[in-house]
C-alpha cells in the first residue's frame, strides 16, 4: 500500500492534526472523520451561540439543546475513533514499555487483538441497541432515538479499521515508533 506523506509545514493555517504516515485509504478515512468532527463542532458552537442570544431576549429554544446533545454523542464516539488512529488514547504502559524488540511487538499485537475483539462486541451490541430504538422518539427533535445510538456501531467499525491497520503494521515488524511517527 502506498502511504501519504504528512505535510511538512508549521503553518498556523493547518486546521487538522497531521497524524502518522499511513496508507492512503486509512489517511483519507481519517481526514473524512476529522473534517466531520470539525463541522460538527462548528454547528454546535453556532447552535449554542444562537441559544444564548435567544436566552438574552427571554426565549428558550429547546431544539438547539437537544440537537447539541445529539451532536455531542456523535462527536464523542467519532472523536474516540479518530484518536485511536494516532494511538492518542489513554493507556497504562508500565509493563509494556519495559519490553523491547520482538517481545514488544508480540505484546502490542495481543493488546490490539483484545481491542479489536472489544470493538467487535461494541459494534454487535450497538447494532442491537440501534435496531431496538427506532420506536423511541427524541422529545423535541421528534426523530428516532436510534440516531442518538448510531455513533456506537459506526465508531466501533471505524476504530476496528484503524486497529486492523495497526495489526497489519505490527505483523510487518514495524515498531510503535515507526507506526506512529508524525
For the stretch 115-148, pLDDT in tens is 999 999 999 999 999 999 999 999 999 999 999 9
CA-CA-CA-CA torsion sign (21, 26, 30, 31): positive
Residue 35: partners with Cβ closer than 8 Å, 6 or more residues away: 16
Total number of domains in the chain: 1
Per-residue confidence band for 2, with pLDDT thresholds at 50, 70 and 90: low
DSSP-based helix, strand, coil % in the chain, nearest 5: 65, 0, 30
> Cβ(15)–Cβ(42) under 8 Å?
no
Q: Flag whether 5 is in a domain.
A: no
**DSSP track, 39-105:** HHHHHHHHHHHHHHHHHHTT---HHHHHHHHHHHHHHHHHHHHHHHHTT-S----TTGGG--HHHHH
Judge whether residue 164 has pLDDT over 50: yes
Q: Flag whether 63 is in a domain.
A: yes
Per-residue confidence band for 51, with pLDDT thresholds at 50, 70 and 90: very high
Q: Flag whether 2 is in a domain.
A: no
Using CA atoms of 1, 108, 33, 29 in order, give the dihedral in degrees to the nearest 10: 10
pTM: 0.84
Q: Flag whether 164 is in a domain.
A: yes
Per-residue confidence band for 60, with pLDDT thresholds at 50, 70 and 90: confident
Tell me, what DSSP letter sits at residue 89?
S
Judge whether residue 75 has pLDDT over 50: yes
Q: Considering only CA atoms, which of 90, 153, 83, 82 is closest in space to residue 122? A: 153
For the stretch 97-114, pLDDT in tens is 889 999 999 999 999 999
Q: Which pLDDT value is given to residue 127?
A: 98
Q: Which pLDDT value is given to residue 149?
A: 97
Q: Which pLDDT value is given to residue 8?
A: 45
Q: Which pLDDT value is given to residue 59?
A: 87
Specify the DSSP element, H or E, that contains 155.
helix 151-171
Q: Flag whether 14 is in a domain.
A: no
Q: Flag whether 4 is in a domain.
A: no
Exposed / middle / buried, residue 170 (Cβ in 10 Å: 0-12, 13-18, 19+): buried
Q: Which pLDDT value is given to residue 13?
A: 58
Q: Flag whether 104 is in a domain.
A: yes
> Cβ(71)–Cβ(51) under 8 Å?
no
Residue 82's domain comprises 24-179
Q: Flag whether 3 is in a domain.
A: no
Q: Considering only CA atoms, which of 126, 146, 132, 167 is closest in space to residue 26? A: 167
Q: Which pLDDT value is given to residue 7?
A: 47
Place of cell 440537537: 67
Amino acid at each position: 500500500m502506498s502511504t501519504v506523506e504528512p505535510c511538512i509545514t508549521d503553518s498556523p493555517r493547518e486546521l487538522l492534526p497531521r497524524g502518522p504516515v499511513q496508507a492512503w485509504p486509512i489517511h483519507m478515512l481519517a481526514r473524512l472523520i476529522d473534517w466531520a468532527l470539525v463541522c460538527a463542532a462548528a454547528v454546535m458552537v453556532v447552535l449554542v451561540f444562537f441559544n444564548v442570544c435567544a436566552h438574552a431576549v427571554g426565549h428558550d429554544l429547546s431544539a438547539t439543546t437537544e440537537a447539541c446533545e445529539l451532536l455531542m454523542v456523535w462527536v464523542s464516539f467519532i472523536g474516540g475513533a479518530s484518536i485511536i488512529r494516532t494511538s492518542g488514547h489513554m493507556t497504562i504502559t508500565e509493563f509494556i514499555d519495559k519490553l523491547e524488540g520482538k517481545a514488544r511487538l508480540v505484546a502490542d499485537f495481543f493488546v490490539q487483538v483484545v481491542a479489536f475483539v472489544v470493538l467487535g462486541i461494541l459494534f454487535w451490541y450497538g447494532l442491537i441497541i440501534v435496531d431496538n430504538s427506532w420506536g423511541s422518539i427524541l422529545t423535541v427533535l421528534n426523530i428516532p432515538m436510534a440516531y442518538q445510538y448510531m455513533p456506537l456501531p459506526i465508531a466501533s467499525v471505524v476504530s476496528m479499521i484503524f486497529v486492523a491497520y495497526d495489526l497489519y503494521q505490527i505483523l510487518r515488524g514495524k515498531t510503535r515508533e515507526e507506526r506512529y511517527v508524525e
